[in-house]
Amino acid sequence: MKKNVFVRSVRLVLRDEPRIFMMIPVCALLDAAFPYIGIIFSARLLTELTLGKDPGMLFFYAGMLAGLTFIGMLLKNAAGQYLDVLYYIEMKRIVQSICEKSWRLDYSMFSDNALRNRIQSMSDWIYWQGPIAAVQKLQGMIRHILSLLASIAIMVTLVTARAQGDDIIASCLNSFMFAAVFLVGFAIRTVVLIRNDIKTNALGAEITRKKEKHIGRFYDLVWASCGDYKRGKDIRVFSAADLLLDRIGQTLGEVKRLDIKSRTSEAKKDIFGDITEAVFSLAVYLLMGLKAFYRAFGIGSLIEYTGMVSQFSSSVSGMISVFADFIANTQYLNMYFEFMDMKECEANGTKIPEIKDGISLEIKDVTFTYPGTQSPALKEVSLTIGRREKVAFIGTNGSGKSTLVKLICGLYRPDSGQICLNGVPIDEYDRSRYRRLISAIFQDYSLFAFSLGENVSANSEYDSVRAEKALKMANFGRRYADLKDGLETPVSVYMDDNGIELSGGEEQKVAIARCHYKDAPFVIADEPTAALDPISEAGIYSNLFENVRDKTGIFISHRLSSCKMCDRIAVFDKGRLVEFGSHEELSSAGGLYEKMWNAQAGYYV
Ligand code: ADP
Ligand code: MG
């Protein structure tokens, strides 16, 4: 059976941060009790003023009122602040766990827009509708219940206080029927308000679900485009502002339409609630006024009852709204737990790779179609890369080279066929152990807005000597010598005013350094020098080849001269492997390779 999401939230928070549940009763009690200090002592003070004979008592009640209000305020604030800090600590954990979960999910799942939108929209509502919010609602509920109990206790004396006199109104006020009608009226009001609140809040949650799609797009469109350093260039040079504004208008229009729907129902709820409230208050004040008129109680008590009635009323409507909130919250919690329960890595075996004498790779009859697309990006590709062999992948744009790299890295799985490393299908390996074997420079690599050292090592702790060596091997040495903060230099001005903005080629060098730093036995470089000048390129290639001398390597490049350094060349065309052999074999085979080779040679002759 599926566990209730609310119970799960409470257990989650209880497990992580039990102090929260120690503080909740304290805070709820202080919050609930606080208003009563004012009500009770100002009533006593008034009674003393009108009827009292002892001025000492006047001072006593005034002192109590001021003193207790002060102490109560102090305690209430201190406890509230402490609890807020605890909530904050737990919120940090929850946000981190969402990020961690995202990265544990199979990369291929992110082809799905819905998943990306879910994460995007969660980043918005997790603070006010996530598991912490559920616990906060519980706290609110406890507080309202405590307050309600206190006000009921005092209200009972209001209803039972006997009116003095023997006319019809007095006997009416004292009759049992009168109290009963009063209570039934109150019960009806409560039920109506509950239904109303639940309906509205459920609609709110439903609309948030629908908004998910738009919110994701909205963030990307508006904020990312306004603040983005890279996109800013294209937007200005191609005067794309109108296009963007137009799209922003469309997206916001959709969001507005959904918003209006939820706001209309909120407004209806508010009007309805206000009318019910007014009728109820009228009845209560009439009752109190009449009872006071018929001397059921004195002026001091009248003040007390007035305060109680408003406490009673606010705790009842508070309870109702928390209760309705709970119900709406369930929908958000469902979305949260749906995500956290998503099945992780489909192919995660237990085998530990044995790589004593190098890595060989066997690609057997692999066909692969990207999720959500129709035609395969790879068709029946078979090739074997021997231990310590270097193979170049070449082919026209879109022929499937990068796709095959992604499959080899285990980011996607083939529709059919198999990829084996040292004779074992890669799905049978423990995923993280398998990934440790591969050092890849992706065509669309990305750097982080962290320090240079963290970028090279992909870690917050790193070996500086190794990192510097890796940067030098990637021809970043000259630029590095200029950096006064060395490895500590923040990459990109986004993170730090002291950050450096790297050129496209320099970024690529850092990505290459990352590959050197990892020093894995299997190196894959997907167009690693596309952004580099010819002098850097030559140096980088010779270092890369030096580094992989005892390793297995795949190199993708459009500069065919660099392919000559590889043992064999695999030529791709429209998702198929069309030629596979050494440069000598292929350069006169009359196939695609020869054609490409001759086309490029033309520039240099
Ligand atoms: P290349 O040989 O230039 O590296 P790719 O392997 O990147 O080519 O792309 C092969 C084909 O797969 C192309 O037609 C491309 O449009 C398509 N493709 C690449 N990445 C994706 C993706 N993430 N989703 C859907 N289709 C993709
Ligand atoms: Mg590519």
pLDDT tens-digit series, residues 428-443: 999 888 999 999 999 8
DSSP H or E segment with residue 201? helix 176-218
Rg (CA), the chain: 36
532 pLDDT more than 90: no
Q: Tell me, in angstroms, the distance from the centre of ligand 1 to residue 7's CA.
A: 45
For 180-204, what is the mean pLDDT?
78
Residue 377: CB within 6 Å of ligand 1?
A: yes
345 pLDDT more than 90: no
For 49-69, what is the mean pLDDT?
87
For 328-348, what is the mean pLDDT?
87
For 276-289, what is the mean pLDDT?
82
pLDDT value at residue 258: 82
pLDDT value at residue 161: 81
Q: Tell me, in angstroms, the distance from the centre of ligand 2 to residue 602's CA.
A: 24
Nearby residues for ligand 2 (ion, Cβ within 5 Å): 402, 443
**Cα(80)–Cα(273) distance, rounded to whole angstroms?**
29
For 444-467, what is the mean pLDDT?
91
Output DSSP code: residue 296: S
| Residue 29 pLDDT level (bands cut at 50, 70, 90) | very high
Q: Tell me, in angstroms, the distance from the centre of ligand 2 to residue 229's CA.
A: 25
* Closest among 543, 523, 562 to 476, alpha carbons compared: 543
Residue nearest to atom 1 of ligand 1 (CA): 398
pLDDT value at residue 286: 83
Residue nearest to atom 7 of ligand 1 (CA): 402
Q: Among all ligands shown, which has an atom nearest to the Cα of 113? A: 1
353 pLDDT more than 60: yes
Q: What is the mean pLDDT of the chain?
A: 87
Ligand 1 atom closest to 526 (CA): 4
Residue 376: CB within 6 Å of ligand 1?
A: no
* Closest among 402, 404, 398, 412 to 381, alpha carbons compared: 404
Pick from 48-62, 408-422, 544-558 the range whose average pLDDT is largest.
Answer: 408-422
| Residue 603 pLDDT level (bands cut at 50, 70, 90) | low
Residue nearest to atom 20 of ligand 1 (CA): 403
Ligand 1 atom closest to 398 (CA): 8
Q: Tell me, in angstroms, the distance from the centre of ligand 2 to residue 397's CA.
A: 7
For 584-592, what is the mean pLDDT?
86
For 245-251, what is the mean pLDDT?
83
1 pLDDT more than 50: no
pLDDT value at residue 530: 78
Pick from 223-232, 417-426, 585-594 the range whose average pLDDT is largest.
Answer: 417-426
Regarding predicted confidence, which is higher, 137 or 349?
A: 137
For 5-31, what is the mean pLDDT?
95
Ligand 1 atom closest to 406 (CA): 6
For 246-260, what is the mean pLDDT?
83
Residue 399: CB within 6 Å of ligand 1?
A: yes
For 329-346, what is the mean pLDDT?
89
Q: Tell me, in angstroms, the distance from the centre of ligand 1 to residue 272's CA.
A: 57
245 pLDDT more than 60: yes
For 394-402, what is the mean pLDDT?
92
pLDDT value at residue 604: 55
Residue nearest to atom 14 of ligand 1 (CA): 398
Ligand 1 atom closest to 400 (CA): 6
Q: DSSP assignment of 360-418, as one string?
A: -EEEEEEEE--TT-SS-SEEEEEEEE-TT-EEEEEESTTSSHHHHHHHHTTSS--SEEE
Chain position carrying tokens 């021997």 = 386
197 pLDDT more than 80: no
Ligand 1 atom closest to 443 (CA): 4
Residue nearest to atom 17 of ligand 1 (CA): 377
Residue nearest to atom 24 of ligand 1 (CA): 370
Regarding predicted confidence, which is higher, 529 or 521?
A: 521
Q: Among all ligands shown, which has an atom nearest to the Cα of 575? A: 1
Q: C-alpha 65: how far from its chain's center?
A: 46
Q: Among all ligands shown, which has an atom nearest to the Cα of 444? A: 2
Q: Tell me, in angstroms, the distance from the centre of ligand 1 to residue 400's CA.
A: 6
Q: Tell me, in angstroms, the distance from the centre of ligand 1 to residue 402's CA.
A: 7
Pick from 176-180, 243-247, 312-316, 518-522 the range whose average pLDDT is largest.
Answer: 518-522
**Cα(311)–Cα(317) distance, rounded to whole angstroms?**
10
127 pLDDT more than 70: yes
Q: Among all ligands shown, which has an atom nearest to the Cα of 406? A: 1
Chain position carrying tokens 């690693």 = 528
Residue 406: CB within 6 Å of ligand 1?
A: no
In angstroms, what CA-CA distances link 249 with 221, 232, 234, 245, 257? 10, 19, 20, 6, 12
| Residue 192 pLDDT level (bands cut at 50, 70, 90) | confident
pLDDT value at residue 346: 66
Residue 337: CB within 6 Å of ligand 1?
A: no
DSSP H or E segment with residue 207? helix 176-218
2 pLDDT more than 60: no
Residue 370: CB within 6 Å of ligand 1?
A: yes
Share of the chain above pLDDT 90, in %: 37
Regarding predicted confidence, which is higher, 25 or 167?
A: 25
| Residue 208 pLDDT level (bands cut at 50, 70, 90) | confident
Residue 371: CB within 6 Å of ligand 1?
A: no
Q: Which of 112, 403, 413, 572, when mutated, tests ligand 1's pocket best, judged by the most ligand atoms within 8 Å of its CB? A: 403
pLDDT value at residue 78: 96
26-35, 100-109, 119-128, 188-197: least confidently modelled range: 188-197
**Cα(255)–Cα(248) distance, rounded to whole angstroms?**
10
Residue nearest to atom 6 of ligand 1 (CA): 400
273 pLDDT more than 80: no
How are strands ordered across the β-sheet holding 378-385? 378-385, 361-368, 416-421, 424-425
pLDDT value at residue 8: 94
pLDDT value at residue 347: 63
| Residue 216 pLDDT level (bands cut at 50, 70, 90) | low
Q: Which of 115, 366, 369, 370, when mutated, tests ligand 1's pocket best, judged by the most ligand atoms within 8 Å of its CB? A: 370
Regarding predicted confidence, which is higher, 213 or 577?
A: 577
Residue 557: CB within 6 Å of ligand 1?
A: no
Residue 204: CB within 6 Å of ligand 1?
A: no
**Cα(324)–Cα(589) distance, rounded to whole angstroms?**
75
Residue 375: CB within 6 Å of ligand 1?
A: no
Q: Is 566 helix (H, G, I), strand (E, B) or coil?
A: coil
Encode pLDDT of 70-113 as tens digits.
999 999 999 999 999 999 999 999 999 999 999 989 888 888 88
